[in-house]
A and B are shown apart, each in its own frame.
Chain A
């Protein structure tokens, strides 16, 4: 049986059987994640930025699944995409008023950030490729997907294989960090609810700010003309001399 060819260029055939499907799906998710991350930077419309960020984070969850972290991939989808991004989208909806939807950044800022980002990217990529062991194709054992090792470790019981460098009998769990993070989350959410609560003001501060701003020259001139006319005619209504 001859394998089906999906590509035949320059005499090099790529049979379907030769495709590493793990690598193909990695490329798919990595392309989506990186492409939409760059789109977040390039977009000016904050609503589109939120959409691109959702897609990028969801594709990252796919990368987690491909790396063998199934529980983490599910958490990424539920907490990040389902929780944090909904929060962000609410923020966008509450503040997206007219010109604030598209706040374009200055060209100089863009160029500077591009240089900084490219330098950082180059440095990180070179660092990532500099260790030969990290460039070896993955050959480790594929473990059965299970949430139990991480879940049990979070409550202080290690059910996975003992780590090679830990002393015999010592299997540290993550109970204390788990407690600290949970209390931290509680305090932070109470604080956030306190900060974002509805204030009772007679006039919203935004209106006060708008009223305190000096009116444009044309408006001031118009007001001055009106005052002069009122003085000349001596209207009682306008408060001039009778």
Chain B
């Protein structure tokens, strides 16, 4: 047996134990952090838009996890239907936000022949 394989043994717990709420929270945290980093570094306006989608998606994962009666153990501790309702509203608002942001981006592209957000300095902010 190789030491590398032996080091993997504790990871067996990941596939033999039922998932917990914390698993979902970690996934949501990774999606959220990736989205924030994406918003920060992308120069393409559409890249920034994709970062926003990732952030909203990470938040949605948390809402769904807290809403799940299976993950939260009992109904008293879970958000219940509220979490799912919030998540579906977030999905709809993300669609609306993407439509408006895309219209603004296309307008910017028509006026400036670029989608580089660093060139959007007409207001001298």
A: residues with CB less than 8 A from B are 7, 9-12, 14, 18-20, 22-24, 26-27, 30, 33-34, 37-38, 40-41, 46, 49-50, 53, 56-57, 60, 63-64, 66-69, 71-72, 75-76, 79-80, 83-84, 87-88, 90-92, 94-95, 100, 103-105, 109-110, 112-114, 116-118, 120-121, 124-125, 127-129, 133-143, 149-150, 153-154, 158, 160-161, 163-165, 174, 177, 181, 184-185, 188-189, 191-193, 195-196, 199, 204-206, 209-210
Contacts and interface: CB of A to CB of B under 8 A. Distances in A.
A40 B34 CA distance: 8
Contacts of A30: 23, 27
Nearest to A97: B113
Contacts of A95: 46, 105-106, 109, 115
B51 to A, nearest CB: 8
Given A34-B31, A56-B57, A113-B40, 8 more contacts: A9-B6, A20-B18, A79-B91, A80-B53, A95-B115, A124-B28, A140-B72, A154-B85
Contacts, number: 311
Interface string B87-115: 11101111111111011111101111111
Interface in B1-47: 1, 5-6, 8-9, 12, 14-38, 40-44, 46-47
Contacts of A19: 15-16
A7 to B, nearest CB: 8
Contacts of B43: 103-105
B17 A137 contact: yes
A135 B43 CA distance: 39
Given A14-B12, A160-B80, A56 B31 contact: yes
A40 B50 contact: yes
A68 B78 CA distance: 12
B24 A63 contact: yes
A205 B16 CA distance: 62
Given A113-B41, A137-B19, A92 B74 contact: no
A57 B80 CA distance: 23
B22 A192 contact: no
Nearest to A39: B34
